[in-house]
Each structure stands twice: as structure tokens, then as C-alpha cells.
Amino acid sequence: MTESTEAKPSEPAKHKHTNRLAKEASPYLQQHQHNPVDWYPWGKEAFDRAKAEDKPILLSIGYSTCHWCHVMERESFEDEATAKVMNEHFVCIKLDREERPDVDKIYMTFVQATTGGGGWPLNVWLTPELKPFYGGTYYPPVSKFGRPSFTDVLTQIGEAWKTQRKEIVESATDISQRIGESVALKAREGIKLDPAWLDKAVERFKSEYDPRYGGFGDAPKFPRPSQPLMLLRHAHRTGDQDAINMVLHTCDKMAAGGMYDQIGGGFARYSVDAKWLVPHFEKMLYDNAQLLHLYLDAHLISGDKKHADVAHDILRYILRDMRHKDGGFYSAEDADSEGKEGKFYCWTETELKALLTEAEFVLAKRYYGLTEHGNFEDHSDPEPLKNQNVLSIVSPELTDDERKLLDSAKQKMFDERAKRVRPHLDDKILSSWNGLMLGAVARAAIILNEPKYLEAAEANLTFLKRELWDAETKTLHHRWRNGQRDDVQLLDAYAFLLDGVLHLYEATLEPQHLQFAIDLTGAMKTRFYDEANGGFWQSTNTPHLILQVKEDYDGAVPSANSVAALGLLRLGKITDQQEYIDMAEKTLLLFSDNLANTPRAVPYLLQALDFLVHEPRRAVITGDPNSTGARDLIAAAHGVYQPNKVILGVAGPVEKFAKELPVEKTSAVYLCTGTACQEPTSNALKLREMMASKKLP
């Protein structure tokens, strides 16, 4: 929440303005409820007014933990003079991109196509028919950074609407048609999926590797876990130790950097530099979910405890700060507190000298690379913070005694930091992002042998089914907050939750979880699947969208088409339902051009291709899944790095072969590939050897 909308606990806030956003559930929209701008939420009321008054629409899109969204609010949306111009010339709409990625995708595509860039805040001007004709991202209050002032842009567009209306409408219609054509994918005839695309993609990924600091590409650096996850999968299968080392080095550098919260755990969204040092401090649920998977895989493939420690630390943060009391996971935490970016996380030497003993301070200074003048420059006005240090691990070598001393210093720093004003928490609960975290927590429970993680995963699914799933109509809602859920239907919700539920099933072998995965898949197919061309629409039966989109980009969040494809393949192998595999294959064929020619756009989808073209191993575990023997076998099956696998029990809607296996008093595992199975075993160590073997039955 921005400084101006934050009330002191001791006195009620007094506001000169309150607009329609006060009635909205989105934390982002509520942040703008006291702007002098006459904001509308996305919906019919705003659209009807634009048509009635023949006014263009200013659509402003952001999210509650977006730093530059806060900056633009302080500079422009809270300014009376700027608001007057906005209200006079436009019908102004605020949209939370995290709640409505389908709307955001359409207008972001327009801005990227017309300006060559994108980001948030996203400000787009539309005709009353919702067709875009001008747009950009952040606009300063006065002309700077090579950008025109926001007021100048508002005035010029308002004037152009009066004097060049016909040209604007024609241009908007033409651009909308061209955008529609660019996103309307159709399956190409005669295309076959080629395993060579995987090799080609990996070579391209490796060419982008930064050997000094790890990661792929230049600053700013996003972790984008689907890329190293794909690289690790391929490298393990082909024996490419160089690629494995690239991923492990990247994991080590990220965890040592300032992008990782060295005191409280969890990762920030990205690093503004190449060294992973200075983060953009907001923390997102979706990043930490994917990074949890990455560090679990790194631990399995390296055997190094430090990677397991990072995974534990991510969950320490998530379960402490990002969980609703009933089990749902919150969305994000802000970069700012008290109007200052990073204030909650940074330290000065003076602060730490006063807090720590002399020995603790000397060690902390060396270990974290503290300096008098700091390594982070606060850009806030009018009084920037000075001498701020982002903590990163500069000198990692410690003796046992020094490790104890550092632990003591870290505890004091954690306790002291807890007294600070925390960054704003976006406490909406999204079924999509919760699905991503659900799967990661379930895997962590088994791989790290931590029962409380499994309890957290079960509680999360119970919450999602109670608050966001309608069992009677097989409907999954997207957002829940303070007892309210929305009516939005998004592919992201179904696909991401399918992924999470499958991981939970493989961790527990509970038939009810597998049945729920099947129910989700049926609903996903009915609502979003394109039978004619393959692939899934991002949203359907949604009013006020000028076109339908099939998301095909695996960015900070993987595309729902990619997640759906891999989920369908896994479910198909567990249930032996060819229909699921066919849908996944048709989806891969639809995006074959990306797979073959622009693999950097689809690293998650490449994992689905890898799963399809390399027959996965099926570990079928007999007996009661809650028995000690079965739990040991489940842990063994998960305890070896083998991404192309499924783990299933013998009860519920599993494949026919599993149902026909003899169930003895002692649980056993049948490890199969295709129609061939190895001799069953009840020995967990033997199973680990079988899973690790490169030799297939």
C-alpha cells in the first residue's frame, strides 16, 4: 500500500475522495480507492458510460506490489490537477492484472507491438468499443527519462479524440484486427514433433549462460525457473555435466545474492543487476513456488545439503508470512514499506553496530560484505535513505564457531527487522498461483522428509476446494479474499491447480486427489480446449474481451498451455487415458513453431515435449499408501532425480494394470516403462537404484 493510503493504527484515516474502487475486493484496486481520479473497475458500468458520453477509455493496469505502479500513483493519480484532466477527457478504469491476466494479455500485446516494450503500470487508451489506439507504461509527471509527461499525453490524446476521431477509430479497428490475426494460431498440416528440438533448445540456452554470475541472459536478471528446470532435465538424461554445472552454479549464485532474503527466506522477483545483488524487492508466490521445485531438483541431482537448506528456507518464509490461517497462500509482498523501496530489508553499518556484539558485527560485516556507504541507492523523494546495504554472501567460508556466531547475529537481525513496518501484503488468494505452490510443497514434504509440509499441502487443497471449487457445476473460481470469490474463469486456475493436485497425489497416492485431478481436467477441457486446432483458450465465455487468446509464453509465470500439456501427459500415464495424451500432443503441435524456432519463449512447454518423446517410468506402489512400507517406497521413488516419471497406487481411477496387481500384506513397487516391468521389490534402497539406473527394462 502506498504511503498516502496507509493509516496510522492510532487514528482513523481521513480521505477527501472515495471512488468506486472502495467496493472492490482486489487489494490493488483498493489502493486507489481514495485517488481523486473517478476510477471504475473493469466492467459494464464503465463501458456503458464511455459509449453514452462518446469518451475514450483510459485503462490503467498494475498489481498491488508493483513499485512503479506506486510511484505513478503518488506522482499522478493522487494529484488533483492530473486527476481533473483524466476525469474530463476519459472514462478511467483500474485493473488488477493478477486477477485478470486475460485482459492484461490483450492490451500488453498491443503496447509491445506498437512500442517495442511493455511492463507495469500499463496505461492504454481504448475506444468505447474497447479497441486500443495508444499506450505505454510508466509516464512521469514532468517530461524526463526520454518520456513525455503524463499530463501532456492526456491532453494531446484528449484533443486528438475531438479533432481526429475518425482516423483514431479506423486505426484502432485495424490494429485490433491485426493483433487478433497474430494471436490466432492454427495447427499446421503435416508437422511432426521432433526430439531434435530439445537438443537445439538446450544449445541455445547454454549459449546464453553467464559463467561468472550464473543465470541466462543479461541484467536485469529474472530467475525464470522453467529454463534451468528444462536444462537440468535434458542434461541429466544426456549426461551433459556442463549443463548440470550451469544450473547448480546459477542456484548457488542466486541463493548467495541479495535477491534472496538472507534473513527471512524466500526470493524477490528479480535482480536489477547481473550479479543477483540488488533485487526489485517484491516477493511473489509464483516465483517462490517454481524456485522451490528448482532447489529440490538441485538437491536431488547434487546431493548437496545447501540446496535442501534453501528449499527449507523458502517454505519457512511461505508458511510463516504467506499463509492464511485456513491454509490458502497469499499472493505477494510489496517492495516498498513506508514509501521507501527495500526499507524493510536493508541495513546500515550504524544500525548493525548498535544491534550486534562486536564479534557478531565483525563477522556479519565480512560475511555479508557490509560497507559504510552501502550497495543500494534509494531513489525515493524527498528524503532518500542513505548508506543502505542489501545483504548478500560475500565471504561464505566459516568455521563451526563462526557459524554459531552468525546464527546468533541473524536471529537478532530477524527479531529487530520484525519490529519494522512490513511491506504491504497482497492477501488475495488465487487458485492458479496456489496450484503452483501446492505442488512444490507436496514434493518438498517427501523429498525433505518433513510431515508438516504435507499437512500444509493438504490444508491448502482443502481450502481451495471449499472456497474456490464448486463441485456441483465443476467450476473453479480464480480469486478469493475476505470470504468473497470472483466469477472469472481462467485456464491458469485449472491448469496450475491440476499440476499441484497431481504432485499431491504422487506424494500421498490418495485416490480422492486423483479423482479431483480428473474432475479438473474434464472441466478444463469443456471450458477452454479448442477441439479443432488444439491448445486452450486463456478464457472463454467472458464478456467484454475483444479477442480470444491462447497464451504461449513461458515467462516469470509459465503459460497455462504449457502447464496443461505436461499435466495432461502425467495424468494420461497415471490413468492410461489416451484422450489426455492426445490433447497434450495436439497442444504441442499447435505451438510447434515456438518449440522449433523460438525455444526461449517456451522452456516449460519443452519439458512437456521431453516427457512425451521419452517414455516415462511408472512406479506402481501396492498396498495401503499410509503404511510404513508404502511411505518408504513413495519417499524412495521421489528421492532420486528422475523427472520423467509418474508414481501411482492401485486404488481409484488408475491404469488397468495397477488395479490388477496382487496386493500383499507388504507393499511392493512395480517399476515399468511402456509395457515392460522390472521384478517387484519391497526394498526402498533397491527402488532408488532402479530409479537412478539409466538402463530401462
Strands 479-481 and 336-337: unpaired
pLDDT at 585: 97
pLDDT at 151: 95
Domain at 3-183, CATH from 3.90.1310.10, 3.40.50.300, 3.40.30.10, 3.30.1490.270? 3.40.30.10
Q: Do domains 196-335+427-614 and 618-692 have the same CATH topology?
A: no
- Helical spans, DSSP H, in 184-280: 196-207, 226-238, 241-256
pLDDT at 10: 39
Q: Is the dihedral of CA 262, 267, 271, 275 positive or negative?
A: positive
186: cell is 492454427
CA distance 253 to 71: 30
Specify the amino acid at residue 63: Y
Domain at 196-335+427-614, CATH from 2.60.300.12, 1.50.10.10, 3.20.20.60, 3.40.190.10? 1.50.10.10
460: cell is 491448502
CA distance 282 to 268: 5
CA distance 683 to 494: 37
Q: Return the half-sphere exposure (C-beta side, CA atoms, 13 A cut-off) of residue 611.
A: 30
Cβ–Cβ under 8 Å, residues 289 and 457: no
Cβ–Cβ under 8 Å, residues 538 and 95: no
Q: How many residues does the chain have?
A: 697
pLDDT along the chain (697 residues), means of 10: 32 76 96 97 96 97 93 95 97 97 94 92 97 95 86 96 95 91 78 96 97 95 97 96 98 98 97 95 97 98 97 98 98 92 96 97 97 89 88 95 97 98 96 98 98 98 98 96 94 98 98 98 97 93 87 95 98 98 97 95 98 96 96 98 97 95 91 92 97 79
Burial tier of 221 (Cβ tally within 10 Å: 0-12, 13-18, 19+) = buried
Cβ–Cβ under 8 Å, residues 427 and 493: no
Three-state DSSP state, 160: helix
Instruction: Kindly give the interhelix angle for 628-638 and 431-447, rounded to the nearest 10 degrees.
Output: 110
pLDDT at 7: 34
Domain boundaries, the chain: 3-183, 196-335+427-614, 345-419, 618-692
pLDDT at 696: 66
Three-state DSSP state, 506: helix
Instruction: Kindly give the interhelix angle for 241-256 and 305-321, rounded to the nearest 10 degrees.
Output: 50
Cβ–Cβ under 8 Å, residues 301 and 327: no
Cα separations in angstroms, 268 against 215, 283, 420: 15, 4, 18
CA distance 661 to 319: 39
**Among 137, 135, 112, 130, which residue's Cα sits nearest to residue 173?**
130
* E strands present in 83-241: 91-96, 122-126, 132-136
Which pTM does this prediction carry?
A: 0.94
Cβ–Cβ under 8 Å, residues 289 and 437: yes
Q: Is the dihedral of CA 462, 466, 468, 471 positive or negative?
A: positive
Q: For 618-692, give the CATH class.
A: alpha beta
Cβ–Cβ under 8 Å, residues 380 and 341: yes
CA distance 264 to 410: 9
CA distance 63 to 431: 17
Specify the amino acid at residue 585: E
pLDDT at 668: 97
Cβ–Cβ under 8 Å, residues 234 and 610: yes
Q: Rounded to 10 degrees, what is the CA torsion of 99, 100, 101, 104?
A: -130
